[in-house]
Amino acid sequence: MRLELRADGLAVEGNVALSTLDAVLRGVGQVMLQNNTWAGLLFAAGAFAASPAAGASLLAGATISTLVAALLGADRGDVRAGLYGFNGALVGIALAVFLRMDAFFWALLVGGAGGATVVAAALSQALRAHALPALTAPFVLVTWAILAGHPGLSHLRASDAMPVAHLAAAAAAPGAVALSTLAEGTARGLAQVFVQDHLASAALVLAGLLLASRRAAAAAVLGALGGTAVGAALGAGEPALRTGLFGYNSALTAVALVALLPSSRWAALYALFAVAATAVASAATSALLAPLGLPGLTAAFVGVTWGALLAAPGFGRVVPRGAAPKGGG
Amino acid sequence: MRLELRADGLAVEGNVALSTLDAVLRGVGQVMLQNNTWAGLLFAAGAFAASPAAGASLLAGATISTLVAALLGADRGDVRAGLYGFNGALVGIALAVFLRMDAFFWALLVGGAGGATVVAAALSQALRAHALPALTAPFVLVTWAILAGHPGLSHLRASDAMPVAHLAAAAAAPGAVALSTLAEGTARGLAQVFVQDHLASAALVLAGLLLASRRAAAAAVLGALGGTAVGAALGAGEPALRTGLFGYNSALTAVALVALLPSSRWAALYALFAVAATAVASAATSALLAPLGLPGLTAAFVGVTWGALLAAPGFGRVVPRGAAPKGGG
Amino acid sequence: MRLELRADGLAVEGNVALSTLDAVLRGVGQVMLQNNTWAGLLFAAGAFAASPAAGASLLAGATISTLVAALLGADRGDVRAGLYGFNGALVGIALAVFLRMDAFFWALLVGGAGGATVVAAALSQALRAHALPALTAPFVLVTWAILAGHPGLSHLRASDAMPVAHLAAAAAAPGAVALSTLAEGTARGLAQVFVQDHLASAALVLAGLLLASRRAAAAAVLGALGGTAVGAALGAGEPALRTGLFGYNSALTAVALVALLPSSRWAALYALFAVAATAVASAATSALLAPLGLPGLTAAFVGVTWGALLAAPGFGRVVPRGAAPKGGG
């Protein structure tokens, strides 16, 4: 066995347990597009800081989906980079929020995280022609399928966090938006990427990002702030803003576009516009899904980021002719 | 005129009526992916066993969509193999279930089955780059469009089988699931592929499959059983299980994946997982569509099978590198 | 500066204001697929005939989306042909109908029309492999996102024209359909392309079409008449028919297919069938979106036209082998 500690994680040879652990933690890191074991470790600590159940389900989801990919013979480089882990990690932690965690929950998680691996492979294949990454779409689709099915399946029991179906979307309760609303909304927005709203989780998420990439950390904070500010400007309810519900999709959009577009002023402006559009898309998905009793998850991030990446090569100021957008995670 | 009876149907030359009949029956056979006239004949007999109206609308739909494809100049080989007939056949028999069969019904069927032919050509074209078959997606889209439009169109009158819109999905009535629930659910699941729940229909569908391909017959039975068992494990209501509502999508997924993936233990395990995922997807589509007053039809089969086929080449154990999944269906 | 007046618009060199004006008016013309400044001028006059607010928001939307495309460095030929203007124009006039036009409205319009430009570039890229134009899909997606989000965003205030969410689709009120219903429905159908129902608007839209292309004008009138007639045959409510709600999607389908398919009797028959299918799809989208409180906009046109264009090369009688459908729009 050979083991080396590097800035981005472990370099292991000859030890399956340790190399799996490395892949699983990189998978947790990829939730925010970081192929970095230590970032994943801090993100996981952030989930545990919210609750042991959240941390355990996050790691279980990442482990199951990574192992299923390895067993089915997926590309080893992709598996080791955590590209098959992050959707399963999110399926795990989201189901832990919206369902009751009885014995049945864990059986379901095996199926859900395994399903996320298959959907991730399917979307990667479908999107290859457009050089688009699948992002967290597999997480969104699998989680929606499981949560949508629950009313007719009595062994899937919803937690109190599950939106109540067939209620109209609540009208905005404007309340007074203060500077503290924006600050807290930005912070909690980082935690909401992992479906949590604890400030301790947010701090650990930020620490992980800083460790992996200062650029990504700055993008995440500015994205969360931008989304929250746009939400406030549009008149979103104060509680929704404060709990970070307008922050997390925009944070992800910012991180993804900063990672995948060339660096330039025009690209930064373009990403800023996408951050604002993500806030509107986020309000739209929540309102459309509320009567179905489903949460919006990261659908707004996925939709807007796909659109922005697809459109970018058509705009010479964003992607200079001849340059291709960077591929990626 | 030259006429020959073969194991898979008629070989006709010089007689338009007979060669059309052969194409129409192959179209009925293709509902379960069998390019086999005799299988189509037995499937049609299964529909007539349920009711003369069901049989007549199935054959009318298959005939109209096949003729429209031939008139518009579609590829003759595809028309003769029934590839333009099965979606029209399903549109026919599904509209006969959900609408009242007045004079207007038959006029509508001409449009609906013709529309299925155009949508089938469109989807085949769109999916060609991914080597995916359109499956029964044209049937699902056309039938949803017609049924969704009916509240504003007074000449389209819903039958009693039509789901009532704007009611919440019924909570699962667990009841006692017995071995007889699984057995009956599996059998009726085969009939539900043709939107019927008669045991006589199921027997004729099984006979048609056995005649065309024992492998397909085994896949259909195991798929229907698997979907029903997973539904039971998730706590689905006993009546839904017994009437085959958790069987038909899973049966189709099994038949399609056994036909289109290479034969191996890993591929079989992969198909089994898809069968289970189809049961969850089926519960999800029913629950999501219930408040819209629409039935789920075979959307769960189409979605899961597309995903599984798209993902397969990314998994070396399911599709060995170098091997391509078989085309088809 | 060089300025020349041509049959299809201005030929300007050395004057940014005039060449922008030309591109903006061509953008308004492209709402009905006409790359023609004078048609755009008459269409804009039609919007002003309905109300100054409608005209101003139409021009503002077209201007913003054209300028955003130019600023981001989109292909200059496409910008000059108005290809980046029509979706923004429609976003402007539709938001003016469904939202209250306070100060906030205009800020929102900048984002919405800019967003339409990005979505248009994204869809053009995604659809390029299939040689499909984006049509008015960017308008539909952006407008739905903004309107769907409004219940949770208190600064977006709905006008009285906004459908009330969570009400079941109204049952058809058959009323007596007279010849005057068809005539008025056809005329108002032309105005409804611009989300208006004034007869003066309809007359100016028709004048613009006649000036640009008699073929397109004939297609629009026959399309609107065909959609209204099919709606009547299916039992749609008289008021919906008379106000042109069954006309506008079908008119657009007819104009697009006549422009993009080869000229032949079979193609005309095929377009006629698509016009009828558009009427059914239009009833379906309205009914499905009614409980969500969203209008159907031109989704039926986009869906059916994409399907018909995708399928056409598979039908030898519609697109003779070897011939490709014309690009465009």
Distance CA B19, CA B7 (A): 16
Chain B closest-CA separation from residue C156 CA (Å): 27
The overall average pLDDT reported for chain B is 94
When CB atoms are compared, the residue of C172, C291, C313 closest to B154 is C172
- The band of B75, judged by pLDDT with boundaries at 50, 70 and 90, is very high
Burial of B75 (0-12, 13-18, 19+ CB in 10 A): middle
Q: What is the token pair recorded at A308?
A: 């922005």
Any CB–CB contact under 8 A between A123 and chain B?
yes
Instruction: Give me chain C's average pLDDT, please.
Output: 94
In chain B, where the domains are located? 1-162, 168-329
pLDDT the model gives residue B205: 98
Coil, helix or strand at residue C215: helix
Q: Do A151 and B169 touch (CB under 8 A)?
A: yes
CB A81 within 8 A of CB A329: yes
- A6 interfaces chain C, CB cutoff of 8 Å: no
Strands A2-6 and A9-13: antiparallel
Residues of chain C found within 8 Å of residue A306, distances taken between Cβ atoms: 122
Distance CA C119, CA B59 (A): 43
A284 and chain C in contact, CB less than 8 A: yes
Cα distance from A226 to chain B (closest Cα, Å)? 33
Q: Which of residues 222-281 of B touch A (CB under 8 A)?
A: 231, 233-237, 240, 266, 270, 273-274, 276-277, 280-281
Residue among B71, B124, B145 whose CB faces C284 most closely: B145
Q: What is the DSSP string of C156-187?
A: S-B-TTSPPTTPPPPPP------HHHHHHHHH
Mean pLDDT of chain A, nearest integer: 94
Residues A280, C72: C-beta atoms closer than 8 Å: no
Q: Of the candidates C288, A292, C177, which has an alpha carbon nearest to the alpha carbon of residue B150? A: C288
Residue A163 pLDDT more than 90? Answer: no
Q: Does C162 touch chain A (CB under 8 A)?
A: no
- Look at residues B304, B252, B311 and name the one whose alpha carbon lies nearest to residue B280: B304
The length of chain A is: 329
Å between A13 CA and nearest CA of chain B: 22
- Which pLDDT does position A53 carry in this prediction? 97
- Asked if residue B144 lies in contact with residue B294, where contact means CB atoms within 8 angstroms, the answer is yes
Cα–Cα distance measured from residue B329 to residue B31, given in angstroms and rounded to the nearest whole number: 9
Q: Which two tokens stand for residue A285?
A: 């998905």
Could you tell me the sign of the dihedral formed by the alpha carbons of C162, C166, C169, C173, in that order?
A: negative
What is the average per-residue pLDDT within B55-80?
Answer: 97
**Nearest one of B270, B183, B199, B221 to B32, comparing CA atoms:** B221
C165-329 architecture in CATH?
Orthogonal Bundle (1.10)
A174 confidence band (pLDDT: 50, 70, 90) = low
Write down the pLDDT at residue B150: 87
Q: How far apart are CA A291 and CA B258, in angstroms?
A: 38
Sign, Cα dihedral of C217, C220, C226, C228: negative
Tally B–C CB contacts below 8 A.
113
Q: Which of C125, C149, C154 is opposite residue A280, by nearest beta carbon? A: C149
Which chain C residue has its CA at the smallest distance from A279's CA? C149
- pLDDT, tens digit, 9 for 90 and up, residues B211-264: 999 999 999 999 999 999 999 999 999 999 999 999 999 999 999 999 999 999
Pick the more confident residue, C176 or A134.
Answer: A134
State whether C72 and A266 contact (CB < 8 Å).
Answer: yes
Least CB–CB distance from C118: residue in A171, A283, A308: A308
- When comparing pLDDT for A270 and B290, which is higher? A270
Cα(C186)–Cα(C205) distance, integer angstroms: 12
Q: Which one, of B107, B93, B97, lies nearest residue B55 by Cα?
A: B93
Fill in the amino acid letter for C13. E
What residues of B are in contact with residue C235 (Cβ under 8 Å)?
153-156
CA pair distance B163, C171, nearest whole angstrom:
16
CATH code: domain B1-162 is 1.10.3430.10
Contact call for residues C133 and C301 (beta carbons, < 8 A): no
ipTM above 0.85, yes or no: yes
Residues B194/B31, Cβ–Cβ less than 8 Å: yes
Q: Which of B111, B125, B291 sits opposite C310 (nearest CB)?
A: B125
Kindly provide the b/e burial profile for residues B154-175, where b requires at least 16 CB atoms within 10 angstroms of the residue's own CB: ebbebeeebbebbeebeebeee
Please give the C-alpha separations between residue C44 and each of A177, C28, C31, C93, C192, in angstroms, as whole numbers. Answer: 40, 7, 11, 10, 13
Instruction: State the average pLDDT over residues C280-292.
Output: 93
Q: What is the reported pLDDT for A162? A: 86
Mutation site for B-interface testing, chosen from A118, A123, A140, A150 by largest number of B Cβ within 10 Å? A118
Contacts of B216 (CB under 8 A, 6+ apart): B32, B33, B34, B209, B255, B258, B259
CATH 1.10.3430.10 at A167-329, yes or no: yes
Determine which of C234, C282, C305, C319 to mutate to test the interface with B (most B C-beta atoms within 10 Å): C234
Q: For C204-218, what is the mean pLDDT?
A: 98
- Measured from the Cβ of residue A166, the count of other Cβ atoms closer than 10 Å reads 16
As a dihedral over the C-alpha atoms of residue C163, residue C164, residue C165, residue C167, rounded to 10 degrees, the angle is: -110
CA–CA gap between residue B201 and residue B199 (Å, rounded): 5
Whether the predicted pLDDT of B164 surpasses 80: no
Q: Which amino acid is at A272?
A: L
Question: Per the structure block, which two tokens stand in for A210?
Answer: 């800083």
Please, which chains are in contact with C (at least 3 CB pairs closer than 8 A)?
A: A, B
Chain centroid to CA A14: how far?
32
Tokens linked to B169: 């999905």
- Which residues on adjacent β-strands are paired with residue A17? none
Q: Do B151 and C130 touch (CB under 8 A)?
A: no
Confidence of residue A327 (pLDDT cuts 50, 70, 90): very low
pLDDT tens sequence across B84-125: 999 999 999 999 999 999 989 999 999 999 999 999 999 999
Q: Are A7 and A21 spatial neighbours (Cβ–Cβ below 8 Å)?
A: no
- H or E stretch including A193? none
Contact of A39 with A48, CB cutoff 8 Å: no
Q: Give how far C74 is from chain A: nearest CA, Å.
A: 5
Q: How far is CA A185 from CA A202, A234, C300, in A?
A: 11, 15, 39
Closest CA to C108 of C137, C82, C143, C84: C143
The percent of residues in chain C predicted with pLDDT above 70, rounded, is 95
To which residue do tokens 């906009």 refer?
C297
CB contact under 8 A, C121 and A277: no
Lowest-confidence region among A76-80, B147-151, C36-40, C279-283: B147-151
Residue from the list B111, B118, B152 with its beta carbon closest to the beta carbon of C311: B118
CA-CA distances (angstroms) from residue A180 to A42, A184, A242? 26, 6, 8
pLDDT greater than 70 at residue A173? no
Phi and psi, residue A158, nearest 5°: -70, 145
From CA C86, how far away is CA C92, in angstroms rounded? Answer: 10
Write down the pLDDT at residue C327.
45
Helix or strand (DSSP H, E) at B71: helix B52-71
Cβ within 8 Å of residue A129, ≥6 positions away: B129, C129
Fold match, A1-162 / A167-329: yes
Contacts 24+ apart (CB under 8 A), B66-71: B66/B20, B66/B23, B66/B24, B66/B27, B66/B117, B67/B20, B68/B113, B68/B114, B68/B117, B68/B118, B69/B117, B69/B121, B69/C315, B70/B20, B71/C317
Q: What is the pTM of this model?
A: 0.94
Can you spell out the DSSP letters for B275-308?
Answer: HHHHHHHHHHHHHHHGGGT---TTHHHHHHHHHH
Domain B168-329 has CATH 1.10.3430.10: yes
Supply the pLDDT for residue C292.
Answer: 87
CB B302 within 8 A of CB B314: no
What residues contact A323, with CB distance under 8 A and at least 6 apart? A262
Q: How far is CA A21 from CA A58, A79, C104, in A?
A: 13, 12, 51
A12-21 pLDDT tens trace: 989 999 999 9
C323 pLDDT exceeds 80? no
Please, are residues C231 and C276 in contact by the beta-carbon 8 Å criterion? no
Nearest Cα of chain C lies from the Cα of A82 at a distance, in angstroms, of 27
**Confidence check: pLDDT of A248 > 60:** yes
For residues C188 and C231, give the distance between their C-alpha atoms in angstroms, rounded to a whole number: 14
What is the pLDDT averaged over residues B259-283? 97
Check pLDDT > 90 for residue C167. Answer: no
First-to-last C-alpha distance (Å) of chain C: 30
Task: Calculate what percentage of chain B has a pLDDT beyond 70.
Answer: 95
